[in-house]
Structures are given as structure tokens and as C-alpha cells.
Amino acid sequence: MPRLSLKRLWAMARKEALHIGRDKRSLAMAFAVPAAMVLLFGYVITFDINDIPTAVLDQSQTSQSRNLVDAFRSSGYFRITRQLASDAEISPLLTRGAVRMVLVIPPDFAKHLAAAEPAPVQCLVDGGDANTASIAINYAQAIVTSYSATAVLKGRALPVPVQVESRVWYNEDLKSSNMIVPGLMATIMMILSALLTSLTIAREWERGTMEQLAATPVHRLEVIFGKLLPYLGIGFVDIVLVAVVGGVVFAVPFRGSALFLVVTAMLFLVGAQGLGMFISAAAKSQFLATQLAMLATMLPSLLLSGLIFDLASMPTALQLISLAVPARYFVVVLRGIFLKGVGLRVLWGQALGMLVFAAAGLTLAVRAFRKEIA
Amino acid sequence: MKFGGLDWGRLLELMRKELRQTRRDPQALRLVLAAPIIQLIVFGYAVNTDIRRAAVILFDRDHTTVSRELGQTLAASGYFRIAETAERAQDLVESLDHGRAILGVEIPRGFEGDLAAGTPATVQVLVDGTMSNTATVAQAYASQIILKFGQAHSPVAQALGRAGAPGVDLRVRSWYNPNLESRVYNVPGVMGSVMMLMSLLLTSLAVVRERELGTLEQLMVSPLTPAELILGKTVPVVGIALVDLTLIASVAILWFGIPMRGSFVLLFFASLVYIVCGLGIGLLISTVSATTQEAFMTMFMFFLPAMIFSGFFFPIANMPTVFQFVSLLDPIRYYLATVRGIFLKGAGLTVLWPQLAALAVMGGLILWLASTRFRKTSV
């Protein structure tokens, strides 16, 4: 076995860089994909729900019922798009999705209120989109509670027994871009490794250049590291790109240490690219490699990383699986650095997890590659 | 066997070749059948926007029966669990910094006394805002539970007795999805994404691979006409995609218990139109890509935005207006509306025809564009 030589490694890296450089579209995509993802996710994803289209069936037609409807309208959460005349109109509207909520105020509404009795009001929600529906219900409850307190009980002093004082930390305005943009780095790195690295060895197999590579005196470590270097460079530029776009366009705060970010990002990058190369070496065909890369890297890093969906609310089995998803640790680290401004003292566990991932990714790539060349 | 300008014998032969090629690669075949199911199951469980047993750190400075009861009420709701109790204010900071809890609740000293005396007591809620969606929901639930608790324990409410407080009593009924499970909405949505991914991948990669290997030229010099070539490449994909549809629809209904209230025939028909859209786009991608890598990346650049704009993760109605218009060009959007309509609402053609018409028009246009380009680039 030849001794490792930095020169050969460098030559390998240059060859791979040339390959990438010639493939103008892939190169452009390597930078366009991250930028597009940040902009898309940052702008399109919002969890604020306003202007829920709502229909009202007011059978009471009194000043009290009109006040209640006004309270809904002026809240900003609901947009009263229709006044209905009969029950029969409700079902087709909800089925077509023309409105998401129907408020039914029964004829004896004002009478009940005057008699200081509970006055039932029906609220029909399109529960299809459970998330929007539960938020809408929450808003409706809040509006009705305050309506009861001000309009109905006025004249009688009913002190508010408990006040809730909420304070939000780290992301004071609950902006969704603050949540998404830092975490997105992890997903982007994973996707790049799927898009770029996972094909690099499979391509050589399919084109028959692998035999040529095997015939040269190059060591397998030199091949792996040589192929890795240019992609690490691209990944690094992408991290800077995302951080700059996040800071400039979305005003995402950066409260932690840039050095810590670079170190953890490089660890993660090495692991992700290693994994991509392992897939590439193991699959040998580009079609299989793309499929495996999608399954093994993209989906988990988007869904099981806590980027968008809360891991703590998932079934236990899925939470256990997510322990093996490296993006999960990186997302916590990224949010910690950007939003919380915490460092190694708090995040050492995650950092350790990523170190293990980097080592595992490299080992896998080198091992899978050895079998073929020997 | 000539009919409609096509030689059906030749066409059949090409399809047999495609099928044989797929069969020879059992790994790929298994993946084509297994990937959608894995995706459906993982998505189905992971894409969950309900909060359940979120970790709370409780800082009880009152240490009375009532304050303890408030802690129990929070836990009993099912939305929260008391993961830790704090001794000092610093503990709250530590816990939120480490991410061990996402919510801190601080009950002030004298809480029980204030409540009994009718003096307003202030409960502090600290929220970790890093996951802004979870934070919003958790904050709303916590305030509601605490406010209700306060009302139930105030002397005024107790004086009113069991008759119920006067005022508006909001009775909520949720249609189509009575328990408000996000899964019921998301699983049909996953079907749309999985089918699109399959038809894109299979078509674009199948063509590009032949181009990369140089066998596309061999096919070109054969007596096959371009129309036969396109059909031979796409019809097997339609077959595979329909098998996938049957598989994932079965998993959705049998495994996840998603209610199927509409017609299977309509689902099948709508899916067929949608698959044609997908493979048209796949074909289009193959005409602008020389290598597998290029095809894969181009596909990704289409697929990711298409997913985001489709209203799969995030309701279209909440997007900025510009993006709502962009989403009108997204075939996935129409298919999702159709599938959700059929599954959850039992909607039929009378309701869904605009969606289907949009899909059909798009499918026709894309396929026409793709085949024109295909002829130009390949022949």
C-alpha cells in the first residue's frame, strides 16, 4: 500500500474541482439552491393566521348579536365574507372551502344575555386543516371571553381573577423566519450532500472511469479526502451565504460565536458529505444513489430534525429514530448560536453528537470505497 | 398493427424492453415500491402540528394547595408536562437556555391569598420562541388554562354556583375532522407529493440515463417514431405510479385510518391526470439535462418550490399575496385540494371540477411542450 501523499490528494481535489467547474449548471445550483431555499422558506412560511374567511348566520338580529359579530370582525383574525339567511347554506360553503368557519347565533341570544344566563353560540369549523382550525378556535374563544366580560357583565364589577403575563425569549416577536433560517443551514448542507456528493462515485462507476482510478497508485483515503475538499469549500461558501441572506434580508439576530458556528458547521459538513459518498460508493448506480440520497438525507433532515415540526410531539418510535438524524443536533446548535447566544457550555452534547457523525461519515465512506478497489 | 399513426407492435416491444430493464434492477424496483410507503409513514407521523406533553418548568413561589393545583391542571390538559421545578429564578433561565423546557410558569408569592381576596394575581409565562409555531400554540393554551383556572377559583364565580357563568358560551364543532388531528389533513397531502416525486424521477432519469449511456441514439436510429418513443417511455411510468397510488392509498386508509368519504373512481381519474402532469414535467426536465446529476438538480429545483407553494405544509391562504398567485401555477396545489376534498369531505365532480380542469389544462400544455422539445433535442 503506498504512503499517503498530500500531493496526490491535492491532485485528486483538483480533478474533482475541475469536474465541478465544467458542470456549470451543477455549480450554479450549488449556490442557487441554498439562496432560493432561504428566500422561499423565509418568505412563504408563516404561522400567523389572519383573515380567516368566516360566514355568519345571525338569527338573533339584535344589537347584541351585531356587537358580537363586530368583535370578530375588528379582531383582525376573521374576515366576515358572508351573511347567511338559512342553515341550508352552511354545508355547501364548508364543503367547497369558501369559508373556514361559520358562526351561528341562535334567535334567543339576546334574551339569554338579558336574563344573565349562558347564551350558546355555535361555531362550526372546517377541521380539515387541524392546525389552522385549532388556532381559529383559540382566537374565537378569546374574542368571546372578552366580549362576555365587557359587553355582558358591564355594570357589575367582576375583577379579572388572574392575569397572565407572557414574555417570549430568544425570538421576541415570534417571527417564523427567525426559527426557520438558522435551522435551514442543516437541511441545506444535507441536501447538497445528496445532490452533489452522492453522485460523485456512482458516476465514475457508471462511466467506467472507476477502473482507471483504481489502476492509479492513488490511496483510497486520498480519493475520499480529495473528492471531499471541493465540496467542503462549496458548503462553507453556502453557510456564509445563508448567514448573510438571513441577516440582511430577514434580520435574523446573531448572538453567539462565529467561530463556534464555523467549527460545528465543518463537522456537520464532513459527516454529511461522507454519508453522501458512502451512498454513492454503495449504490454504484446513479439512479439508485439519487433515490437513496433522498430517503436517507433529504427527508429526515427536513422532517425529523425539528426544523419545522416539533420532535417532542412525535410518537416515541419516531423520536428514537430522530436520534440518528444528525441534522437534529445541528438544528439545536444553530438556533442556540443565532437566537440564544449560547456556546459550548450548553451545547457540548450536540457538538459531541456531531463529532461522532463526522467520524462515522468518513469511516463509512472510506470503508465502502475500499471494498470496491481492492 | 398500425393505428392512429403509431405502430403498436413496436410500441409494445419498447414497453417490454423498459419493463425488462426495470426488472433486471431489482434494487431499484424495490425502492420504487417501498420509498412511497416509507415516505408516507414517516411523513404521516412526523408532519404533526399538534402539541402534546410539551416540557414546562414550574417556578412555584407560593407553595400552597391552590398553586400546586394550577400545576396539576396544566399537566392534566395533556398539552403540557411538568418536566422540572425551579427553586430560583436562575433555574428558569438555565432550563430554557438548555432547551430542557420550552415554557416557564412562575406562580407569584401570595397567589392563593390574592385569588381568595379577589385581588388580581399575575402569573408569569416565559416562552422559548425559537420554535415560533410551537411557541405560539403553547402560549395560547397555557394562557387559556391559567385564565380558566383563575375564573373557576375566583370568589365571584363560586358565588354564582353551578348554574354556569353568564355570558356567551361558545360551542365549537369541527367538521370533517372532529378530533382536529393534523394527520387526517396531512396524509392525503403526502400522497400528492410522493406521486409527483415518483413520476418526475422515473421519467426524467429513465430518459437521461439512456442519453448518458448513449443508447438514446440507438433508439433514435431505430424505426421508432418520436411519439412511439415518448409513449414507450411514459406508459410504464403511469403503470408504476398507479400501483404506487393503490399502495399508499391503502396504507393511508388501513394504517392511518384516514376516512375515505368520496369516490375511488374519481380519485383514480384525478390521479391519472396528475401523473400525466408529473411525467410531462419529468420529460421536459430530461430535454434540458445532459447528465443524471443535472436532471436530479433541475428536478429538485422544481420539486421543492412546488411543494412549498402547494399548501402542503402551510396553508396557501396565509402566504403573502404574490406567492398566492404563484401557487396558481403549481399542479400539486390542485391535486392536494382534490385529494383532500375526496377523502375528507366526500366531495364529487360538482365541487372539484375547477381543480380537475386546471390539472387537465396544465397536463395537456406540459405534455405538448415536452414532446415538442423532446423531438427537437433528440431527433
> Which three three-digit cell numbers place residue A262?
464555523
Q: In chain B, what percentage of residues exceed pLDDT 70? A: 93
- Give the H or E element holding residue A163: strand A162-169
SS3 B264: helix
Q: Which residues contact B134 (CB under 8 A, 6 or more apart)?
A: A310, A313, B51, B54, B102
Nearest beta carbon to residue A130 from set B121, B167, B182: B182
Q: Which of B112, B131, B163 is the last residue of a domain?
A: B163
Q: Which chain A residues in 249-278 lie under 8 Å from chain B, judged by CB atoms?
A: none
State the complex-level ipTM.
Answer: 0.74
pLDDT of residue B191: 85
Same domain for B155 and B101: yes
Looking only at the bridges linking them, the beta strands covering B103-107 and B54-60 are parallel
Q: Which residues contact A320 (CB under 8 A, 6 or more apart)?
A: none
pLDDT digits (tens, 9 = 90+) for B88-110: 988 888 888 888 888 899 999 98
Phi/psi at A126 (5° precision)? -75, 105
Residue B162 has pLDDT above 50, yes or no: no
Nearest beta carbon to residue B297 from set A29, A96, A129: A29
Same domain for B270 and B210: yes
pLDDT grade for A341, boundaries at 50, 70 and 90: confident
Residue B114 has pLDDT above 50, yes or no: yes
B168 inside domain: no
B367 inside domain: yes
**What's the CA gap between A30 and B293, in Å, rounded?**
12
**What's the CA gap between A354 and B44, in Å, rounded?**
27
CA distances from residue B240 to B18, B20, B30, B31, B310 in whole angstroms, order as listed: 12, 13, 12, 12, 23
Between A353 and A213, the more confident residue is A353
Q: Which chain B residues in 300-359 lie under 8 Å from chain A, judged by CB atoms?
A: 300-301, 304-305, 308-309, 313-315, 317-320, 323, 337, 340-341, 344-345, 347, 351
Residue of B nearest to A124 (CA): B173
B251 inside domain: yes
Average pLDDT over residues A94-111: 87
pLDDT of residue A157: 46
> Which three three-digit cell numbers place residue B146?
391559567
pLDDT grade for A325, boundaries at 50, 70 and 90: confident
pLDDT digits (tens, 9 = 90+) for A127-153: 777 777 877 888 888 788 778 766 555
**What's the CA gap between B354 and B10, in Å, rounded?**
38
Chains A, B: CB pairs < 8 Å: 356
Tally of CB atoms within 10 A around A14: 14
Quick one: which of A140, A124, A313, A138 has its CA closest to B141? Answer: A138
Stretch(es) of chain A classified as CATH 3.40.1710.10: 52-152
Residue A209 has pLDDT above 80, yes or no: no
pLDDT grade for A231, boundaries at 50, 70 and 90: confident
pLDDT of residue B163: 46
SS3 A216: coil
Same domain for B237 and B130: no
Q: Residue B106 maps to which CATH number?
A: 3.40.190
Same domain for B256 and B289: yes
Nearest beta carbon to residue A195 from set B166, B197, B296: B296
Quick one: which of A40, A38, A327 has its CA closest to A186? Answer: A327
B173 inside domain: no
Q: Is B258 on the interface with A (CB under 8 A)?
A: no
Phi/psi at A167 (5° precision)? -130, 130
Structural domain that includes position B92: 54-163
Q: Which residue has the cell 374519481?
A: B266
Asked whether the beta carbons of A98 and A144 are under 8 A apart, the reply is no
Q: What is the identity of the amino acid at A339?
A: L
Same domain for B59 and B26: no
Tally of CB atoms within 10 A around A251: 11
pLDDT grade for B34, boundaries at 50, 70 and 90: confident
pLDDT grade for B333, boundaries at 50, 70 and 90: very high
Asked whether the beta carbons of B270 and B338 are under 8 A apart, the reply is yes
pLDDT digits (tens, 9 = 90+) for B272-312: 999 999 989 998 998 888 887 788 888 888 888 888 888 87
Tally of CB atoms within 10 A around B35: 20
B224 inside domain: yes
Tally of domains within chain B: 2
Residue B177 has pLDDT above 70, yes or no: yes
- pTM check: above 0.80: no
B30: closest CA of chain A, how far (Å): 10
Nearest beta carbon to residue A126 from set B139, B154, B176: B176
Same domain for B331 and B285: yes
pLDDT of residue B273: 93
Q: Which of B163, B191, B212 is the last residue of a domain?
A: B163
| Residues of chain B by 3-state class (helix, strand, coil), percent to 5 | 70, 10, 20
Nearest beta carbon to residue B153 from set A118, A120, A161: A161
Same domain for B195 and B328: yes
Residue A322 has pLDDT above 80, yes or no: yes
Residue of B nearest to A160 (CA): B120
Is A195–B174 a contact, with Cβ atoms under 8 angstroms apart? Answer: no
Quick one: which of B378, B353, B70 has its CA closest to B211? Answer: B378
Q: Which of B110, B134, B163 is the last residue of a domain?
A: B163
**What's the CA gap between B352 and B331, in Å, rounded?**
14
The angle that helices B182-213 and A130-147 make with each other, rounded to 10 degrees, is 150
Strand partners of residue A83: A56
Q: In chain A, what percentage of residues exceed pLDDT 70? A: 93
Between B118 and B289, the more confident residue is B289
pLDDT digits (tens, 9 = 90+) for A105-127: 999 888 888 877 778 888 888 87
Is A286–B304 a contact, with Cβ atoms under 8 angstroms apart? Answer: no
Residue of A nearest to B99 (CA): A332
Q: How far apart are the first and last CA of chain B?
A: 24
Q: Is A75 on the interface with B (CB under 8 A)?
A: no
Q: Which residues contact A88 (CB under 8 A, 6 or more apart)?
A: none
Q: Which residues contact B351 (CB under 8 A, 6 or more apart)?
A: A95, A96, B341, B345
> Which three three-digit cell numbers place residue A22?
465544467
Q: Which CATH class is domain A52-152?
A: alpha beta
Tally of CB atoms within 10 A around A2: 9
Looking at beta carbons, which residues of chain A come within 8 Å of B308? 40-41, 44-45
Quick one: which of A16, A9, A321 has its CA closest to A197? Answer: A16
Average pLDDT over residues A15-21: 82
**What's the CA gap between A181 and A159, in Å, rounded?**
43
Q: Which of A156-160, A334-338, B317-321 has the lowest mean pLDDT?
A: A156-160
pLDDT digits (tens, 9 = 90+) for B244-280: 899 999 999 998 888 888 899 999 999 999 999 998 9
Residue B58 has pLDDT above 90, yes or no: yes
Same domain for B62 and B37: no
Long-range contacts of B364-367 (CB under 8 A, 24+ apart): B366/B277, B366/B280, B366/B281, B366/B284, B367/B276, B367/B280, B367/B283
Same domain for B320 and B259: yes
B58 inside domain: yes
Quick one: which of A158, A139, A152 has its CA closest to A63? Answer: A152
Q: Is B158 on the interface with A (CB under 8 A)?
A: no
B171 inside domain: no
Q: In chain A, what percentage of residues exceed pLDDT 90? A: 5
Average pLDDT over residues A178-193: 84
Q: What is the DSSP letter of B108?
A: P
B267 inside domain: yes
Between B157 and B170, the more confident residue is B170
